[in-house]
Structure 1
């Protein structure tokens, strides 16, 4: 008797009668196979089976007891067991292993090839049968412990089912294309001539088969439909056949044949059930569509659930390159460039519909659709993909196994949560495999009869059904809690004290009552605020909103009014935050973002109340609202090292050749980080010098990156410039920062005063095939840098740039050599240009050239000068500036330009450096005013108490101008409060310069 060595008593008592029955069925099958083998004079199967060890037989019995489908496959062809050695059963297969296996089966055919469609159908079904039996064995015997986080067997089974489907589809498609080519011809790109076809000069077009759902993700169920979409690159007519078809008809016929090869039920069963309902228009739509037709459909009519479905789309078979191009063109439909909270709304609606269906059909015990089931984990991951995938491109991933850990890496969910979700998903999928492997049937319903329950518990590694259910209940409760935390509706129940404010929207109540409510909530001018609310409510922009947008606005406004009322200045908060709401009326995903994130809404309103500049920036670039969702980074500006790392990670997701996206990315990076600095400044009251440091770091990191982009682009085109020595230059180019950038005093709206220098004049040009001389190469480098910095994109400019401080100003060369720069500074430069050089420093570029510049700067600034002549030139320049830029009355004081203001302190510092650095080189060490003042004290040129008083006045002036910039007010202030500081500065001015 075969399998006598197997100990069936090792299995649970309730399963032993089943095992005895299966032993009888298997014995009958072996006897029939033996009889057939004797007639065909082949080896007897039962004899071969005796070679299986007791351990091997036990493993087979575990497979057969937990899967009727496996027993059926063995009964149909007992040679299956012999074909699968223990080593091959345990070894994980990749796609190439299935390709090799199928090729071996084809070679075993009598002719070594497939002769006709029935042969194709038979071979594919035989292949699927033995491959499925192998997977059922592995699924039963290589399971992980029930609480194992990895559960590698689950993922391997899902991956191998996907490989199997991919290989079957590709094999069937390739055979059908070749088989019907003589009759139908092949499709070719438009304008292809028959002569080109006959010579093989042009490759034919192929069908693009997109795998959707778990198939596209490479995570197919053990027994599942395969969801497909058929597409082709372009229209035209076939060539080279007995009859010509237009491409639409050809690919439709080919698709029909492919479906039959996979889906048609024959005596050998099916390969895969094929579902085409995810294509445009579903069953009513064309079976195959051109790329243009697909793109037009998704652009004009694509629905939210189709975006959800397209997340998992992957090229399964056919033309891989064309398919990749199609998916790239469909990417903007799936992933919005902005943070898109409309996805949450759509998924809620889908989940509500599923819940109604679950209730109607009594599917509460369905582990996919029921509470805490597979679909809820998929929704959790895919809602983050849809919301943020356009920004965080690593989320554009089909596999849920790879997406879930990314949610922790990006700070979207805590790591313990993602670990739980991944473990729970694996356990649910493992249970799903057990249910489906029982009868090779697509089901997710828990069984009701005790025998089946015992078989499932055995397959899943649980002691019994009760243990499995206890584990499952805890798991589903965890999943539901995580699902509710991410996707459940926010609490919209207004508290009693909020009801008054909530009644102000819609803005149709009586004016007196509305104003009374606003006054009660602390509004200083309730009449003006009510007028603003009504003006907005009855505006044309609101009246013209579509229904979905109006619903989102109506949901947001009561929350917004409450957040406004909780600020210290509700009138200002209302006015300024309303700018933003007006700006995003047509992009209602932002309205939804704020509705879904009450904390972000409060932060937004609070920041707007404090700073008009902040409100204006957010209104100009609503995409920055995403930053409000992560307070941990919002109020913690990054230092220079972290900025470099963040920028590198931000840009590594974008292809190098996609210049437009790179330009947008660096602009977003700048705006987002400046927003963080401003938020930190407003909320955490950071010291002014720290704020300037952060803003300067941002500019420096971006200048380094822009120089890197431009250098890479130019050297790819023209090669590297050569030095006079014949060596290849690494860069040979530096960017000088003047003014506030050079002095490390950038403000929120500061432009960049830049000068570009290169190392000299190489004699051999550049190393590329298309060579450029040195001057032209570096001139183009400078031009491209300015273009990168100043080009207007949807996100505006990166920075405004002022190049007028270069030698000869606007009349001079855009990029000078260091030698020419030095000669100009010595022979032609005005005194004010030397004053500007005091604050000049290298902010990006070649370190060796930077060191040479520092030496040249020191030599120029430390020249011994005629002090009387220097004083006269400085006084003349300062007098000219005061007359043109200062205040007009004695009661007004311009913080920067008037006597005793910021510029006077800067001129004092610059004069001192030009006058005394020849004897005190320490004055050349720094470019910022505060540290140069420290050096003036250290050298004894100014008394320490005088220096400290100047520094305090300077910081007070800068703090006031800084606050004025945030409030969007003028630097022209009332003179009286500043009298003491002005008198001090004027006194020092007279001591040093007279005048």
Structure 2
């Protein structure tokens, strides 16, 4: 051993001096075999720990062996730290690895006697249950310090009982197992302890069973989980338990990381910090480098508050380690690089001091020593010449941390006192008309306000001037405020939403702007305030289809197959929140029309696909699987069932209020029975899937419907069966369908279900559309249908005389353009099958120009007219207006459409 390094180690730690006196020969051998200048890998630590208790069956011998190993490893780590041969990250990782190894070895040792007495723990489903140990706190993050407690939670997957002759309940088995684990690690013998074990972070703390099932833990987090527990579960990590533990941890993620940007984390942080500060004052812990101002806990809080606010949407922030997340905060531009560098330097400095303090006597403390001798030992280890020099540097680093912490969690209600001090009520009264101002007065003097809890009143009074300040900057403050008032009334009891708006001025500004533009958005948020969660957090970028699929799938994975109400709620809120985000992007980011329609269609398709999966799964679970017409058994992936979208859904042109035109088609053996215990025919199976789909989509609940579904375009319309076989559909389309049904087929597109059946449908659609047709017959049929629509749905003669133009149904409107695209396909795709490729009007018109049936100018003019009219229809929908507009404003566009209509379809008009 290097004598100088040995002296520095013994100077740094009274505890190390004691260990050296007891195990000098072994320590010198350790140093020779594994140089203290080298790091230990995770594998080496596990192998070392396992070798020291290998073949030991006596409990006291086992405990002695692992305690002596712990002392030898602690000496090594204190040596490395005192001589600066190891960095903080590596030291804390090695300490954590040893804790993991000790836990796993203790579990294995404690298991055998229990199994011999009671048998294996088996769930009621027949699965062997693993002992799930969840590490929390510093062990969870693999940031353990030199003399740290380990915070643990014990769990198991499912209820059941043991398999032995003396059977006991699984929970009791795991409680006994956990008690033995704690004893093996925590019990103080003549050789010390391995790790102090703290179980107080489990649900309900010391007042609850030592081990909980997956279901009990999930129920607790959903119903009773508190804000401080979200902070605790950020660092949760499974030490044992395999796949069962992985599933349990996955279940906790939505509790910790909300899908939306969660500004309520600020207030929770303030409350937690206030509690800590009171404890610091009560226990006089101002010199505690963990809990005191500018200490380690404040650095962790800074990181964790960003994790809780943004972790649901920025998944890279879900890492457990403080320093890793600090780097992510810089990359995400939530903190500047300089701020991150300063916090990193301070954190590492504070952690090194923490190790120096704990090395003195192997005590779990972060308080600076008051004894002069201990102080001198510590500053010698840290390479300072005097205590005053050390304190000056420490105060400087703590001040950097504390300044950043205060800046982050500063109470906005205090920060914005000058705004509240201005006479906004005077400004508001003069900005609003008398009727609008009376609405405000009635609100503040009404019974609803008088019944509010004091906390809600307090938050509302902070929120109100911030909101009014922004409203007064609008061109139409009265319009915006009247739309916002019902929304404010609907959320003022759920004050978390007010907190979100207080904390995020950007979100509040967007909401106020949205209120001026779109009453529809305000009405949706008022009726379903839960949508505010995601609406306020959106970055107003149009969603990507894959993100939509992942989001809905992850939400539905948490719901059992038979929990129909929960499935309905998730589907409805997913659809509504997704559509609201698109609307916000449409209004604020001025997203292009076709991108908006694509996004709205993607949302519908994702909902349809998920709903079909749920419906099919539920019916199959009850009745078993049917047979394909080809004889093989169906599966969820190869299910012999598809949903075909017609109209705007098929044409990828959905608007905000669009319903979904769908047709259900199957390829099941209709007469063959399913393979379940309770059997039904293939036809009955297909019918039940379609009915279940309709129920999931259209049942009116407190959260509304997912979509209105129209199935009248199926063969024989309302007189036909709800679901049709592909063969029957083919026969109908070839021999019985009207021309208008082939017109509708132009805009048909398979959107969900069996991949092979989808391909067969698309081929059938192409075959039907490309049949040779008599041009004159098609022209006359199209004209007849168009005239019927105009007479029933268009403007009346009186409306036309008064200068009204129905944007969709009148001559020169959207339907004329749609009919021309359909006419092009029906008349000419027999010669040019490529015309039948697409179901959307824009690409059909582009193909018509490419193939020479329209000039490029005609096609471009018609497409531009179509996009202009549809963009206006979107704007009108967001403003809650009907489709009637000023005819004069649209005359040039109508002329373009009508001229081409006359050339293509109605030359004698």
Report the TM-score range of the alignment, normalised by the length of the smaller protein.
0.7 to 0.9
Equivalent residue in structure 2 for 1:156, among 86, 93, 101: 93
Against the structure 1 CA distance between its residues 279 and 887, is the aligned structure 2 distance closer, same or farther, given a 3 Å change threshold? same
1:213 CA displacement: 3.2
1:737 is aligned to 645
Equivalent residue in structure 2 for 1:611, among 518, 528, 531: 518
Between 1:251-260 and 1:779-788, the stretch displaced more is 251-260
1:688 aligns with 2:593: yes
Equivalent residue in structure 2 for 1:533, among 431, 440, 443: 440
1:973 CA displacement: 3.6
Against the structure 1 CA distance between its residues 472 and 668, is the aligned structure 2 distance closer, same or farther, given a 3 Å change threshold? farther
Against the structure 1 CA distance between its residues 831 and 178, is the aligned structure 2 distance closer, same or farther, given a 3 Å change threshold? closer
SS in 2 for 1:737: strand
How far apart are the structure 2 equivalents of 1:246 and 1:943? Answer: 79
SS in 1 for 2:513: helix
Q: Does the aligned pair in 1 maintain the 2:251–2:558 contact within 8 Å?
A: no
2:822 is aligned to 910
SS in 2 for 1:882: helix
1:809 aligns with 2:731: no
Equivalent residue in structure 1 for 2:40, among 92, 96, 105: 92
Q: Does the aligned pair in 1 maintain the 2:629–2:667 contact within 8 Å?
A: no
Please give the TM-score of this superposition, normalised by the length of structure 2.
0.80
1:439 aligns with 2:439: no
Equivalent residue in structure 2 for 1:966, among 829, 854, 878: 878
Against the structure 1 CA distance between its residues 290 and 163, is the aligned structure 2 distance closer, same or farther, given a 3 Å change threshold? closer
Equivalent residue in structure 2 for 1:130, among 72, 81, 87: 72
Equivalent residue in structure 1 for 2:401, among 479, 485, 489: 479
Between 1:700-709 and 1:960-969, the stretch displaced more is 700-709
How far apart are the structure 2 equivalents of 1:322 and 1:280? Answer: 19
SS in 2 for 1:221: coil
SS in 1 for 2:59: coil
How far apart are the structure 2 equivalents of 1:645 and 1:290? Answer: 34
Equivalent residue in structure 1 for 2:739, among 819, 828, 831: 831
1:965 CA displacement: 0.1
SS in 1 for 2:412: coil
1:596 CA displacement: 0.7
Against the structure 1 CA distance between its residues 312 and 813, is the aligned structure 2 distance closer, same or farther, given a 3 Å change threshold? same
Equivalent residue in structure 2 for 1:637, among 526, 542, 559: 542
Against the structure 1 CA distance between its residues 956 and 401, is the aligned structure 2 distance closer, same or farther, given a 3 Å change threshold? closer
How far apart are the structure 2 equivalents of 1:689 and 1:855? Answer: 26
How far apart are the structure 2 equivalents of 1:325 and 1:956? Answer: 50
2:480 is aligned to 573
1:355 CA displacement: 3.5
Aligned pairs for 1:419-458 within 5 A: 424-446=346-368, 456=378
Aligned pairs for 1:827-866 within 5 A: 827-843=735-751, 853-866=761-774
1:898 aligns with 2:847: no
Q: Does the aligned pair in 2 maintain the 1:719–1:767 contact within 8 Å?
A: yes
Aligned pairs for 1:501-512 within 5 A: 502=424, 504=425
2:49 is aligned to 101
What do the CA deviations read for 1:2-44 (whole angstroms, capped 9, x no partner)?
x6xx453xxxxxxxxxxxxxxxxxxxxxxxxxxxxxxxxxxxx
1:479 CA displacement: 3.4
Q: Does the aligned pair in 2 maintain the 1:95–1:164 contact within 8 Å?
A: no
2:27 is aligned to 81
How far apart are the structure 2 equivalents of 1:286 and 1:787? Answer: 41
SS in 1 for 2:145: coil
How far apart are the structure 1 equivalents of 2:374 and 2:887? Answer: 90
1:551 aligns with 2:475: no
SS in 1 for 2:75: helix
Against the structure 1 CA distance between its residues 422 and 882, is the aligned structure 2 distance closer, same or farther, given a 3 Å change threshold? same
How far apart are the structure 2 equivalents of 1:264 and 1:933? Answer: 80
Against the structure 1 CA distance between its residues 480 and 168, is the aligned structure 2 distance closer, same or farther, given a 3 Å change threshold? farther
How far apart are the structure 2 equivalents of 1:746 and 1:237? Answer: 54
Q: Does the aligned pair in 1 maintain the 2:460–2:498 contact within 8 Å?
A: yes
SS in 2 for 1:754: strand
1:828 CA displacement: 0.7
2:507 is aligned to 600
1:96 CA displacement: 9.6
How far apart are the structure 2 equivalents of 1:371 and 1:714? Answer: 60
1:561 aligns with 2:468: yes
How far apart are the structure 2 equivalents of 1:774 and 1:673? Answer: 36
1:604 CA displacement: 1.0
1:220 aligns with 2:149: no
Instruction: Let me know the Cα RMSD of the aligned residues.
Output: 5.4
1:80 CA displacement: 3.8
How far apart are the structure 1 equivalents of 2:339 and 2:221? Answer: 34
How far apart are the structure 1 equivalents of 2:274 and 2:847? Answer: 70
1:529 CA displacement: 2.6
1:375 CA displacement: 0.4
What do the CA deviations read for 1:730-773 (whole angstroms, capped 9, x no partner)?
67765533212233322122222233446787999999999998
SS in 2 for 1:678: helix
1:908 CA displacement: 3.8
Aligned pairs for 1:155-554 within 5 A: 155-160=92-97, 162-163=99-100, 166=103, 170=107, 212-227=136-151, 267-273=190-196, 285=207, 304-309=227-232, 311-312=234-235, 340-358=262-280, 363-387=285-309, 400=322, 424-446=346-368, 456=378, 459=381, 475-490=397-412, 492-494=414-416, 499-500=421-422, 502=424, 504=425, 516-520=426-430, 522-523=431-432, 525=433, 527-554=434-461
Q: Which blocks of at least 5 consecutive residues in structure 1 are unaligned?
A: 9-57, 146-150, 192-200, 505-515
How far apart are the structure 2 equivalents of 1:719 and 1:617? Answer: 41
1:46 is aligned to none
SS in 2 for 1:84: helix
Report how many residues are paired: 893
Aligned pairs for 1:663-812 within 5 A: 670-700=575-605, 718=625, 721=628, 735-757=643-665, 790=698, 797-812=705-720
Against the structure 1 CA distance between its residues 207 and 689, is the aligned structure 2 distance closer, same or farther, given a 3 Å change threshold? closer
How far apart are the structure 2 equivalents of 1:346 and 1:649? Answer: 26
Between 1:575-584 and 1:839-848, the stretch displaced more is 839-848
Against the structure 1 CA distance between its residues 299 and 402, is the aligned structure 2 distance closer, same or farther, given a 3 Å change threshold? same
How far apart are the structure 2 equivalents of 1:628 and 1:552? Answer: 20
Q: Does the aligned pair in 2 maintain the 1:235–1:290 contact within 8 Å?
A: no
SS in 1 for 2:714: coil
Q: Does the aligned pair in 2 maintain the 1:187–1:247 contact within 8 Å?
A: no
1:353 CA displacement: 3.7
Q: Does the aligned pair in 1 maintain the 2:698–2:706 contact within 8 Å?
A: yes
1:65 aligns with 2:65: no
SS in 2 for 1:78: helix
Against the structure 1 CA distance between its residues 387 and 986, is the aligned structure 2 distance closer, same or farther, given a 3 Å change threshold? closer
How far apart are the structure 2 equivalents of 1:807 and 1:978? Answer: 38
Please give the TM-score of this superposition, normalised by the length of structure 1.
0.74
How far apart are the structure 2 equivalents of 1:910 and 1:708? Answer: 32
1:559 CA displacement: 0.9
How far apart are the structure 1 equivalents of 2:356 and 2:310? Answer: 34
What do the CA deviations read for 1:524-563 (whole angstroms, capped 9, x no partner)?
x2x2232222333344444333333333222212211112
1:886 is aligned to 794
1:986 CA displacement: 5.3
Q: Does the aligned pair in 1 maintain the 2:501–2:507 contact within 8 Å?
A: yes
How far apart are the structure 2 equivalents of 1:178 and 1:852? Answer: 57
How far apart are the structure 2 equivalents of 1:202 and 1:741? Answer: 45
